[in-house]
């Protein structure tokens, strides 16, 4: 289980929000409080940098070697490292991935395939079929759909020819044929942010991460040789890149619901190792000291939507009062006229456009997060990945192998050892 881009501050704030607003500890923290999980810190560096990207990070887990940022299980000199889900498939196990972003994205791909470039998502969509993974669920219709691919290739038909059932919406999860492998592609691009999904009825035909996780486990749990599953909370990373606090907390809590689904199964099963971690930190968000720090942090409960949604719905013909009203409607705080005009200048082309990894529409995320910071006491060090050591937890048989400090590559060999799969490929 990988909450992509989860800094320690993200884990802390999600638990703080859960306690203060929802009245309960998170499932992750409960594993610690009830002394059910082993715990360590992990070094996440890649071959090319102390700060990894998701492709190199997943390759460390998936291939057992550090590679350069941007590549998937291909070493600096072109070495091809056999991905771990292929190793488990060769030993007769079922293997799957579920994610809240595109299923062809770096984190699932790092467990499954080799590619010099993480951006080769159209090709990765075809590779998955070649290796016959048993359950693959997430977004990314544009990489499978002939109408959306540049080469007009119908990749769905490739899967159907191999006996896959294709799932397209949430209700399809209730009617899965257990005798067939599953490809679930529920949207173009990534799945919606959890907070936007909860407040937008038309987005609720997409499943939650926990729902996909339960369905994947149900599909593979009775296989006599066992199964392996990767669960990625991919939009935790995207929201950290955007310094979007509501998106971040609610997607971390959605990942935490998936933890519950996994632990509920593992407790009953008694023979499953659960590894819960992240691939790297991102933006290192955290709470800031102040007289009203608790009250200000708790005000995040008033946020109805992500900053992405809020900022996408501001137009250059808004006047100052319209913008202030829109912000108040969605975040329950009042901008000053100066702040509102600063934001409006961006939409009128008078401010420099913001860049950012997942900022396709060049929205003013940084400007707006600074306005929020004054009201919610949450700060960010950047809008990109960080090289800090990260949290690593394990539950179940094999968790005794966890040492207090690990390299990301160590997990590859620990998984093989725990499953009694010899590394002789």
pLDDT score for 424 = 84
**Cα–Cα distance measured from residue 68 to residue 55, given in angstroms and rounded to the nearest whole number:** 9
Which residue out of 7, 54, 115, 399 is catalytically annotated? 54
Q: Which two tokens stand for residue 109?
A: 């791909």
Residue set of the binding site for Mg(2+): 4, 105, 107, 232
pLDDT score for 276 = 98
pLDDT score for 356 = 79
Q: With beta carbons less than 8 A apart as the criterion, state whether 42 and 406 touch.
A: yes
Residue set of the binding site for Zn(2+): 4, 237, 241, 279-280, 385
The sign of the torsion formed by the CA atoms of 325, 330, 334, 337 equals: negative
CATH 3.40.720.10 fits 8-285+384-418, yes or no: yes
The sign of the torsion formed by the CA atoms of 88, 91, 93, 94 equals: positive
Q: With beta carbons less than 8 A apart as the criterion, state whether 136 and 183 touch.
A: yes
pLDDT score for 236 = 98
Q: Is 201 helix (H, G, I), strand (E, B) or coil?
A: helix
Q: Which two tokens stand for residue 298?
A: 């708790």
Q: CB neighbours of 180 closer than 8 A, spacing ≥ 6? A: 163, 164, 165
Per residue of the chain (425 residues), what is the pLDDT tens digit?
999 999 999 999 999 999 999 999 999 999 999 999 999 999 999 999 999 999 999 999 999 999 999 999 999 999 999 999 999 999 999 999 999 999 999 999 999 999 999 999 999 999 999 999 999 999 999 999 999 999 999 999 999 999 999 999 999 999 999 999 999 999 999 999 999 999 999 999 999 999 999 999 999 999 999 999 999 999 999 999 999 999 999 999 999 999 999 999 999 999 999 999 999 999 999 999 999 999 999 999 999 999 999 999 999 999 999 999 999 999 999 999 999 999 999 999 888 888 877 877 789 999 999 999 999 999 999 999 999 999 999 999 999 999 999 999 999 999 999 999 988 88
User: CA 270, 272, 276, 279: dihedral to nearest 10 degrees?
Assistant: 170
Check if 334 is active-site. Answer: no
Q: Which residues of 183-206 are buried (b: 16+ CB within 10 A; e: fewer)?
A: bbbbbeebbbbbbbbbeeeeeeeb
Other Cβ atoms closer than 10 A to 277? 20
pLDDT score for 373 = 98
pLDDT score for 394 = 98
Exposure of 14 by Cβ count < 10 A (0-12 exposed, 13-18 middle, 19+ buried)? buried
pLDDT score for 270 = 97
pLDDT score for 195 = 98
* Of 3, 126, 1, 5, residue with least CA distance to 380: 5
Residue set of the binding site: 4, 105, 107, 232, 237, 241, 279-280, 385
Pairing of strands 94-102, 227-232: parallel
Q: CB neighbours of 23 closer than 8 A, spacing ≥ 6? A: none
pLDDT score for 411 = 98
Give the chain's largest Cα–Cα span.
67
Q: With beta carbons less than 8 A apart as the criterion, state whether 150 and 156 touch.
A: no
State the Cα angle at 282 between 277 and 285, rounded to 5°.
105
**Cα–Cα distance measured from residue 397 to residue 155, given in angstroms and rounded to the nearest whole number:** 39
The DSSP code sequence of 336-404 is -HHHHHHHHHHHTT-SPPP--TT-TT---HHHHHHHHHHHH-EE-S-SSEE---EEEEEESTTGGG--S
- Domain regions of the chain by residue span: 8-285+384-418, 302-379
């Amino acid at each position: 289980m990988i909450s992509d881009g989860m800094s320690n501050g993200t884990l802390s704030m999600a638990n703080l929000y859960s306690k203060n607003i929802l009245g309960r500890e998170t499932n992750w923290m409960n594993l610690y409080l009830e002394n059910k999980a082993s715990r360590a810190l992990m070094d996440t560096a890649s071959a090319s940098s102390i700060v990894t990207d998701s492709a190199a990070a997943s390759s460390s887990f998936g291939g057992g070697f550090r590679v350069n940022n941007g590549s998937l299980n291909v070493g600096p000199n072109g070495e091809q490292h056999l991905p771990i889900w292929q190793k488990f498939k060769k030993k007769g196990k079922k293997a799957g991935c579920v994610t809240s972003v595109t299923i062809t994205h770096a984190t699932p791909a790092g467990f499954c395939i080799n590619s010099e470039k993480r951006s080769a998502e159209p090709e990765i969509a075809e590779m998955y079929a070649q290796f016959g993974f048993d359950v693959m669920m997430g977004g990314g219709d544009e990489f499978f759909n002939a109408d959306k691919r540049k080469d007009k290739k119908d990749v769905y038909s490739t899967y159907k020819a191999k006996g896959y059932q294709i799932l397209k919406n949430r209700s399809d999860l209730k009617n899965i044929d257990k005798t067939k492998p599953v490809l679930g592609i529920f949207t173009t691009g990534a799945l919606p942010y959890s907070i936007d999904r909860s407040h937008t009825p038309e987005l609720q035909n997409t499943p939650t991460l926990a729902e996909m996780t339960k369905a994947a486990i149900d599909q593979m749990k009775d296989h006599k040789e066992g199964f392996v599953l990767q669960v990625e909370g991919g939009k935790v990373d995207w929201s950290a890149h955007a310094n979007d606090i509501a998106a971040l907390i609610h997607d971390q809590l959605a990942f935490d619901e998936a933890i519950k689904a996994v632990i509920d199964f593992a407790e009953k099963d008694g023979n499953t190792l659960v590894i819960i971690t992240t691939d790297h930190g991102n933006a290192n968000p955290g709470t800031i000291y102040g007289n009203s720090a608790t009250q200000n942090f708790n005000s995040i409960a008033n946020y109805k939507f992500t900053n992405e949604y809020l900022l996408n719905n501001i137009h250059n013909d808004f006047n100052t009062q319209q913008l202030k009203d829109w912000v108040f409607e969605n975040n329950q705080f009042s901008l000053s006229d100066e702040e509102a005009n600063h934001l409006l200048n961006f939409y009128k082309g008078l401010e420099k456009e913001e860049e950012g990894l997942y900022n396709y529409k060049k929205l003013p995320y940084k400007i707006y997060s600074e306005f929020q910071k004054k009201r919610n006491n949450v700060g960010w060090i950047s809008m990109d990945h960080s090289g800090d050591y990260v949290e690593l937890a394990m539950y179940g048989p094999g968790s005794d192998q966890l040492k207090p400090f690990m390299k990301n590559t160590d997990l590859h060999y620990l998984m093989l050892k725990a499953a009694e799969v010899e590394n002789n490929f």
